[in-house]
Structure 1
């Protein structure tokens, strides 16, 4: 090295320099390409395109929604056409995106991702980095679960709980001190796109580093299982950027007057009373309530109520609000509307242009019943009830059929 002049030294160091970025793609284009590559990896692994359906795992449903969106957008098709060796974008003119009301929270986020960008909070992309590949190798020795029929009802029940909001998923936060001891038998996680159930935690033993460890039996929603260490599962959960813990049904109240430092404020349930002079509304003003959930300020939400058919083209009064934490706003709103569906107000109004509008969030429900519903949401029992307009109260759902 001492014999090199400055030019030779510069040439020597140039070999280690990072190559300049080519192509000049925007961050949004990079996200679109990364998302498409995930879909391609799925197709390579499974030999088919991802599909919608409740029986599919959460990431396949995300990929299916994303693919439909990419097919529908001309700019995405143009960007991805040179990369589409599998013909995934074919038939774009017939592409159909799953209706928003049939999507769960994760699918709706996937619908927005790529086309509209993503934030740190809603970014659910699963780009397999080198670190994630190493994490996958730690749990790679999965085998077919011979007695999966024993576990299938558990996975079905968990998915139903997630769909109804009885359970939620929470990110695995390494900086919050997620420990091996936090992994217990009977718990569910989302790892590598599959729901993982900790079926057995073996007897603890001393690992070579002196720490306590244990052997696990983990069963996955795709019908496989693995035998791995507590430490290996913890590491895999850390390294998977989109790993989640599935909460218990009785994980605690959804609403509180005071939030903890770690709580993620999700929004507010609001109850409104209309000042409309519509004959039906005027005759039942103390019973007609709009029930909604918003992530913003309620006062701002209703600022232009008299110009919005959703608010019956009239001013409204805020009669109750309930702050919520760590819960999906969309799922909660759907749950509340389903419970009070028997009392949904059947009303049609004309908008400013004379077009008929049927608002869907107004209900003939006393305020004390709404308060009762919130209390049942707090204690986790709400999914067992439905509103009976004749009795003007919440009643237990009938068993033996699906509402």
Structure 2
């Protein structure tokens, strides 16, 4: 077997060796085939032929002009006939550019894009501003004097005071990319106020896009699209969202690994039949924070020593925004530390475990603590287990 030639081996296996055609196509023909295959992949992916227009993706425009060029070349239609099952090459040629004289590099130049180097893939464009980005820059730059700025100036002054006092925070734009009437942002060093939001329209890709009236703290205004404002805030390294005074981040404006955009404080009551738990069931509560569903978090409670190896009842939940999970849980533990449950149980393997996050605290006191978190007064409070109340710490 080792001495058999390839043809002999194929023959022994019952396989006929097909002769290989060398140089079946010229380089130009191979390029035409490859270019048409790009168009076919676009049609298969998008369900339509590529179209012209400045609102189209740069490569869709490239494929549209390429298709026009192929339609105008009889030799190309003949070469590609076996691939053109859907009859793409029989369509009309759009009179957009003189396609007969353009190759891909010329076309990119026609579209305002530098041609790639010889060792670069033509589909990997670098340092190219998209049409949307150019449109955004024009809209942001195209500001007019706000004739009734006196009506808005007090709003900007109040926002600045709120930021200085800590009632409002500035967050890097992106954690929450929504834009609503009444929102404040920082863009290009100016505070931007969304004064009006027009009726939303649909973009070609199906996204909602509304026209906005945005007032800037330097006394100018701009009628720009919602998507344009979002893109500008994303691109501006100093772009920020200014939070509402009653919904700001709990622990500052630095994004940390445990930060969650929104979350739930949950309070649980144990179904354990442990004698001490049974006796004080109405007072023993577990306090935690989750960024997901509470039901998912407690799904395996009866098998987890953290939950006293028993099912639990959800007795209260509170929705908050811009929470640092770790810091918030630590804050609860610090406040209610004098009432932490001192109970040791054995886990499923007989190992002693002292569960945390369980406290002998009435539910109404937990409710008060959450409300104080919302208004910012919790940091000056401590829990007195002798009276079961929150008390202001001495100065």
Q: Bin the TM-score by the shorter chain.
A: 0.3 to 0.5
Greater relative contact order: 1 or 2 (C-alpha under 8 angstroms, separation 6 or more)?
1
TM-score, scaled relative to structure 2: 0.43
